[in-house]
Structure 1
Amino acid sequence: MTTLPKVFIDGEAGTTGLQIRERLVGRKDLQMVSIDPDRRKDPLARKAMLNDADAVILCLPDDAAREAVALIDNPAVKVIDASTAHRTAAGWTYGFPELDEAQRGKIAASTRVSNPGCYATGAIALARPLVSADIIAPDLPLSFNAVSGYTGGGKAMIAEFEDEAAPNYTRAPYRIYALTLNHKHVPEIQSHGGLLTRPIFTPAVGRYAQGMLVELPLHLGMLNGSQSLSDIHEALASHYAREPFVEVASLSEARAMTTLDPEGLNGTNRLKLFVFGAEDSGQVRLVALLDNLGKGASGAAVQNLNLMLGLKEGAGL
């Protein structure tokens, strides 16, 4: 009888951990293991769980994630880190299978995979194919604008929006943040987007739980060669033509749209890209739509887990 791979989520009580567990519970191709709640803070019990599992998913703050990795001395344990800690670290594979033709295989062969950030998923999905196709020069200064549901801001922001008794409770329907331009996703956007110049990233949060839009506006005249909306669309469509979770909307679909709902892909592991603009304007507005807790977090973690364990990539998704 074949033994099912054991999967341990360290931090399963958090937002991402809970959603990963929902996608894994009840599956017949793996088994979930959990630490006794009374022993969660027992370092010996935690170390034993980390080293006994076939795969570990870390849903922890950065420092705690680094600590967890240091506790693992079993070389056979496969690790997916959902924190920011290892997204540009040497020895770690970036967990965006759609990055290029080789990335899926790298993830499958790796024992250390860093789950992408939610904003970074949208930004890299838009920029990387255009850099690879020599449409965007790697040193071109880019600006990414984005809006997310408040779950994209972590525990503190979730508490602020959901707890009316919280000291900083506000009813503002929309606001910008990361005003110093030092958002934690910028290094991975630059690194995995293939960019030589640090991009500007301007995030915002809306008063809704989840769902995300990431935008990349471009002047066509600043791109390599003589580019059109059709050229940019073709580069994106070609890059993602065989991807099960990424769709590029047709130009006719985009032209017919007057707005775009950030909650449009909630509850899915899908990512949809749009090319907006008009040929005579010399400008293009690229937009990525995704669920920040789906393809931007828990869905991506499950997709990576499936690849690392040799299971069907879409299982649980």
Structure 2
Amino acid sequence: MSRPRFRLPSWLPIDPYVLALLATVGLAALLPVSGGAADAVGGASMGAVALLFFLYGARLSTKEAVDGVRHWRLHTTVLMATFVVFPLLGLAASRGLQPWALTPELATGLLFLCLVPSTVQSSIAFTSIARGNVPAAICAGSFSSVIGIFATPLLAALLLGGQTGGFSPDAVFRVALQLLAPFIAGQLLRRWIVRFLDRHRALLSYVDRGSILLVVYSAFSAGMTAGVWQRITPQRLGVLLLVAAVLLTVMLCLTWYAAKWLGFGRADGIAIQFAGSKKSLAAGLPMASVLFGADASLAVLPLMLFHQLQLLVGAVLAKRHAAAAGPAPLPEPTPEPAN
């Protein structure tokens, strides 16, 4: 007789990958690497980031991207929310809350959270549950990820400034080398490797997630060695969680009512709300490792908190949208063949 597997309650959608991230943070706290081992882990982390963005480029279908441009008003709305409204809110919050509520490091991380692109997977999942425009959510998330490779470093240079040590030509070259060059290489080689990627999609998902875990371990090990966590109190973390919750609530409301004001229908409005209010942990973590180096451990903390909040709130909101839409339509009956 098989033993029943443990399952989390449906109303508590904690992402198992978030638990893996927290376990990685705990491992870095207990067993941080230093010296030569830290150099080796750091080098492996840089290679993992390059591999991630190579796979992002190889998986993006150029045809799907071109087809999605037809819905340009929806995608423009999502991009404005992601790369204009979010950064403005983050800039106001980070400047207004430091140093009395947040340390400069946490305020920088909060602003960085607002600069990363939207997520793809959860936007699609929640849009589907809510019975919104799923193809639009797919394209919107994909466009945001691609544009984020350019926009996030440029916005970081503009808004973070000296907080990231400045954006020297060397820093720009490192960002291009680690993020943009592998992405372009993936696009160029896509026609020859796309079938291999499709056949091994499940295995490559483990490569993706394992690479990000390595990036997290490297960043948090560097933070432990440098003693940055000694400057963070539980009260500051509580304030950070509250600020992330307020930021998510504001963006969910803004995207929903802006979609209505712009004349979008219900299905499009749902896609705009979910794609325009989300932030990608998968894209943000490797970007932070390139932009912040040894300070990445604190820079990604707000993003990790926001990621779990958007999953919890998004699951509840998607079910409410589905309930408000009424029962799902029945499929059309298949006509019987003529005798």
The answer to whether TM tops 0.5 is: no
TM-score of the superposition, structure 2-length normalised? 0.22
Structure with the bigger percentage of helix: 2
Q: Which has the higher strand share?
A: 1
Q: In terms of Rg, which structure is larger?
A: 2
Normalising by structure 1, we get a TM-score of 0.23
